[in-house]
């Protein structure tokens, strides 16, 4: 009976470790996606600003 409990406990610990690794990976990917989004918005704003300065209103 003890070996069964040990095996179950070990499996739970492994699953917990995998869950922790997955959540860490997901957080890192979400941070990178947010940074890419912000960088893209900055580039679009720069393009719009340059476009507006090249063609002043008449």
pLDDT tens, residue by residue, 7-42: 999 999 999 999 999 999 999 999 999 999 999 999
For the cut 70, the answer to whether the pLDDT of residue 5 exceeds it is: yes
For the cut 80, the answer to whether the pLDDT of residue 1 exceeds it is: no
* Residue 25 domain flag: yes
- What 3-state DSSP class applies to 58? coil
For the cut 80, the answer to whether the pLDDT of residue 54 exceeds it is: no
Q: What is the pLDDT of residue 39?
A: 98
* Residue 33 domain flag: yes
Q: What is the pLDDT of residue 32?
A: 98
Picking from 19, 23, 43, the residue whose alpha carbon sits closest to that of residue 31 is 23
* Residue 12 domain flag: yes
* Residue 35 domain flag: yes
Q: What is the pLDDT of residue 57?
A: 60
Distance (Å, whole) CA 58 – CA 44: 24
* Residue 15 domain flag: yes
Q: 1 is in which domain, residue-wise?
A: 1-52
How many domains does the structure of the chain reveal?
Answer: 1
The Cα-based distances of 12 to 7, 47, 58 in angstroms read 9, 52, 70
């Amino acid at each position: 009976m003890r070996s069964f409990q040990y095996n179950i406990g070990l499996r739970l610990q492994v699953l917990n470790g995998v869950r922790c690794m997955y959540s860490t990976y997901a957080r890192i990917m979400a941070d990178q996606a947010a940074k890419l989004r912000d960088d893209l918005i900055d580039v679009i704003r720069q393009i719009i600003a340059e476009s507006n300065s090249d063609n002043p209103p008449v």
